[in-house]
Amino acid sequence: MRRQIARLPGSAAHHDLLGQVHLARGETARAAAAYLKALELQPQRVGTYVRLGDLYAGSGKYDQALARLDQALKVNPRNQVALTLSGVVHQRKGDVSAATAAYEKVLALNPRSALAANNLAWLLAEHGGDKERALQLAQMAKELAPEDASVSDTLGWILYQRGIYHRALAPFKESAAGLPDGAPRPRARSRSRPRERPPSPSRNGYA
């Protein structure tokens, strides 16, 4: 890869790919540097902004992540990956209003986004939103991603909140069965972490 970049030092695509290689190796600082070089060479690379934003978010650098995602959305305001990840980062920061707005935009573009539906359902249920819509979104997310443990957990929790205990049990069991060994099992409690992984931008045409 470095030999290819040496032959084509002005190739933003090669620097972006180098960043992905570094990230796969756990070399986050080098990955960030490669992404930044790619953006210096080609500032319109939406996928690179998203990958860099995801990297920063994973490191807890939420403001830096949002800054890069905002740049992606300036290039393409309809980019669902950037919008979804922006919602996740805002949710991690505790900015319910901004997270809700981001997920609403995703669902306006793609009403069948399981991730946006799941996370918006939880926000509505937990923060005084439309309880009926929260249940509808959670049920839709479950239909779209029936094997996702976090989606099952959200649906179970919303049903539990509404006192529909007999229907809450099954999704809670499915959620517990789908969690990795050693992970905390769902229970009737206030939950704070969103489902976090939007589709990879490299697999969805945003590179």
Q: What is the CATH number of domain 78-199?
A: 1.25.40.10
Domains 1-75 and 78-199 are alike in CATH topology: yes
Residue 196: per-residue pLDDT: 53
Instruction: Give the domain ranges of the chain.
Output: 1-75, 78-199
Q: What is the pTM of this model?
A: 0.82
Rg, C-alpha atoms of the chain: 19
Q: Which CATH class is domain 1-75?
A: mainly alpha
Judge whether 184 and 149 are in contact, CB under 8 Å: no
Run means of pLDDT, 10 residues per run, the chain, 207 residues: 60 94 96 98 97 97 98 98 97 96 98 96 95 97 94 95 91 80 42 48 40
Residue 177: per-residue pLDDT: 83
Residue 174: per-residue pLDDT: 87
Residue 7: per-residue pLDDT: 60
Spatial separation of the C-alpha atoms in residues 183 and 130, rounded to whole Å: 30
Residue 192: per-residue pLDDT: 41
